[in-house]
Structure 1
Amino acid sequence: MNESITTTTNHFTGCAILAAIGAKLQQLDVLSPIRKRVQIRQKTIKHTPLDKLMDAFISLLAGAHGLVEINSRLRADPGLQRAFGRTSCAEQSVVQETLSACAEENVLQLHQALDEIYRAQSQGFHHDYQAAFQLLDVDLTGMPCGPKAAFATRGYFAGLYHRRGRQLGRVLATQHEEVVVDQLFAGNVQLIKALQPLVETAETTLQLDDAKRRRTIIRVDAGAGTEDDLNWLLSRGYEVMAKEYSGRRITRLSQTVKEWVQDPTWSERSFGWVSEEAAGYVRPMRRIAVRCRRRDGTFAYGILMCSLSIEQVLPLLGWEASQAADPTAVLLAYVTFYDQRGGGIETSFKGDKQGLGLTKRNKKRFEAQYMLALLGSLAHNVVVWARRWLNSPKIHRYGILRMVRDVFHVSGLLRFNALHQVVEIELNQDAPLAHSLLYPLQELLAPFQIVVILGET
Structure 2
Amino acid sequence: MNECITPTTNHFSPTASLAAIGVKLNQQDLFGPIRTNVHIKQKTVKHTPADKLYDAWISLLAGAHGLVEINTRLRTDPGLQRAFGRSACAEQSVVQETLDACTADNVTQLQQALDEIFRRHSQSVHHDYQARFLLLDVDISGLPCGPKAAFATKGYFAGQYHRRGRQLGRVLATEYAEVVVDRLFAGNVQLIKALQPLVEAAEETLQLDEAKRARAILRVDAGAGTLDDLNWLLSRGYEVLAKEYSGQRVLRLAKTVTEWVQDPDWPERSFGWVTEPPTNYVRPVERIAVRCRRQDGTFAYGVLICSLSAEQVLAMLGRTILQAVDPVAVLAAYVTFYDLRGGGIETSLKGDKQGLGLTKRNKKRFEAQHMLVLLGSLAHNVVIWARQWLMSPPIQRCGILRMVRDVFHISGLLRFDALTHVVEIVLNQDACLARSLIHPLRELLTPLHIVASLGET
TM score, norm. by length of structure 2: 0.99
Equivalent residues of 1:310, 1:324 under 8 A apart: yes
Partner of 1:165 in structure 2?
165
Which AA in structure 1 matches 2:139? D
Which AA in structure 1 matches 2:52? K
Q: For residues 5 and 334 of structure 1, what CA distance do their matches in structure 2 show? A: 67
Q: For residues 31 and 318 of structure 1, what CA distance do their matches in structure 2 show? A: 37
| Cα deviation 1:371-414 (Å, max 9, x = unaligned) | 00000000000000000011111211210000001100011100
| Cα deviation 1:321-374 (Å, max 9, x = unaligned) | 111111111000000000011000000000000000000000000000000000
Which AA in structure 2 matches 1:387? R
Q: For residues 393 and 164 of structure 1, what CA distance do their matches in structure 2 show? A: 41
Partner of 1:57 in structure 2?
57
| Cα deviation 1:293-324 (Å, max 9, x = unaligned) | 00101000000000000110111111111111
Q: For residues 420 and 213 of structure 1, what CA distance do their matches in structure 2 show? A: 47
CA deviation after TM superposition for structure 1 residue 7, in Å: 2.1
Q: For residues 455 and 38 of structure 1, what CA distance do their matches in structure 2 show? A: 42
Partner of 2:94 in structure 1?
94
**What pairs up with 1:41-52 in 2 under 5 angstroms?**
41-52=41-52
The two structures, once aligned, show a CA RMSD in angstroms of 1.3
Q: For residues 396 and 309 of structure 2, what CA distance do their matches in structure 1 show? A: 32
Partner of 1:184 in structure 2?
184
| Cα deviation 1:176-223 (Å, max 9, x = unaligned) | 000000000000000000000000000000000000000000000000
Partner of 2:422 in structure 1?
422
Partner of 1:83 in structure 2?
83
**1:409 and 2:395 correspond:** no
CA deviation after TM superposition for structure 1 residue 420, in Å: 1.5
Partner of 1:353 in structure 2?
353
**What pairs up with 1:7-46 in 2 under 5 angstroms?**
7-46=7-46
Q: For residues 398 and 295 of structure 2, what CA distance do their matches in structure 1 show? A: 34
Partner of 1:339 in structure 2?
339
Which AA in structure 2 matches 1:124? S
Q: For residues 30 and 370 of structure 2, what CA distance do their matches in structure 1 show? A: 21
With over 3 angstroms needed to count, the CA separation of the structure-2 counterparts of 1:40 and 1:279, relative to structure 1, is: same
Q: For residues 128 and 192 of structure 2, what CA distance do their matches in structure 1 show? A: 30
Partner of 1:431 in structure 2?
431
TM score, norm. by length of structure 1: 0.99
Q: For residues 244 and 225 of structure 2, what CA distance do their matches in structure 1 show? A: 5
Residue 75 of structure 1 aligns to a residue whose secondary structure is coil
- Give structure 2 stretches of 5+ with no counterpart: none
Equivalent residues of 2:16, 2:409 under 8 A apart: yes
Q: For residues 141 and 420 of structure 2, what CA distance do their matches in structure 1 show? A: 41
Q: For residues 4 and 293 of structure 1, what CA distance do their matches in structure 2 show? A: 78
Equivalent residues of 1:243, 1:304 under 8 A apart: yes
Q: For residues 309 and 5 of structure 2, what CA distance do their matches in structure 1 show? A: 62
**1:131 and 2:160 correspond:** no
Partner of 2:247 in structure 1?
247
Which AA in structure 1 matches 2:423? V
Q: For residues 126 and 323 of structure 2, what CA distance do their matches in structure 1 show? A: 31
Equivalent residues of 2:413, 2:427 under 8 A apart: yes
Q: For residues 369 and 121 of structure 2, what CA distance do their matches in structure 1 show? A: 25
Q: For residues 85 and 2 of structure 2, what CA distance do their matches in structure 1 show? A: 21
Residue 245 of structure 1 aligns to a residue whose secondary structure is coil
Q: For residues 384 and 223 of structure 1, what CA distance do their matches in structure 2 show? A: 28
Partner of 1:214 in structure 2?
214
Which AA in structure 2 matches 1:374? L
Q: For residues 363 and 227 of structure 1, what CA distance do their matches in structure 2 show? A: 36
**1:6 and 2:9 correspond:** no
Kindly report structure 1 stretches of 4+ aligned residues shifted beyond 6 Å: 1-5
Equivalent residues of 2:395, 2:436 under 8 A apart: no
Equivalent residues of 2:217, 2:241 under 8 A apart: yes
Which AA in structure 2 matches 1:295? Q
| Cα deviation 1:29-59 (Å, max 9, x = unaligned) | 1111011101111111111111111110000
Equivalent residues of 1:5, 1:417 under 8 A apart: no
Which AA in structure 2 matches 1:419? L
Partner of 1:302 in structure 2?
302
Q: For residues 96 and 16 of structure 1, what CA distance do their matches in structure 2 show? A: 26
CA deviation after TM superposition for structure 1 residue 5, in Å: 7.2
Equivalent residues of 2:31, 2:54 under 8 A apart: no
| Cα deviation 1:214-249 (Å, max 9, x = unaligned) | 000000000000000000000000000000000110
Which AA in structure 2 matches 1:431? A
Equivalent residues of 1:3, 1:418 under 8 A apart: no
- Give structure 1 stretches of 5+ with no counterpart: none
Equivalent residues of 1:4, 1:419 under 8 A apart: no
CA deviation after TM superposition for structure 1 residue 2, in Å: 11
Q: For residues 418 and 379 of structure 1, what CA distance do their matches in structure 2 show? A: 30
Equivalent residues of 2:47, 2:90 under 8 A apart: yes
Q: For residues 366 and 420 of structure 1, what CA distance do their matches in structure 2 show? A: 38
Partner of 1:108 in structure 2?
108
Q: For residues 320 and 410 of structure 1, what CA distance do their matches in structure 2 show? A: 43
CA deviation after TM superposition for structure 1 residue 87, in Å: 0.8
CA deviation after TM superposition for structure 1 residue 140, in Å: 0.3
Equivalent residues of 1:4, 1:418 under 8 A apart: no
Residue 43 of structure 2 aligns to a residue whose secondary structure is coil
**1:290 and 2:298 correspond:** no
Partner of 1:275 in structure 2?
275
**1:66 and 2:59 correspond:** no
**1:140 and 2:136 correspond:** no
With over 3 angstroms needed to count, the CA separation of the structure-2 counterparts of 1:419 and 1:398, relative to structure 1, is: same
Aligned pairs, how many? 457
Q: For residues 5 and 34 of structure 1, what CA distance do their matches in structure 2 show? A: 38
With over 3 angstroms needed to count, the CA separation of the structure-2 counterparts of 1:240 and 1:392, relative to structure 1, is: same
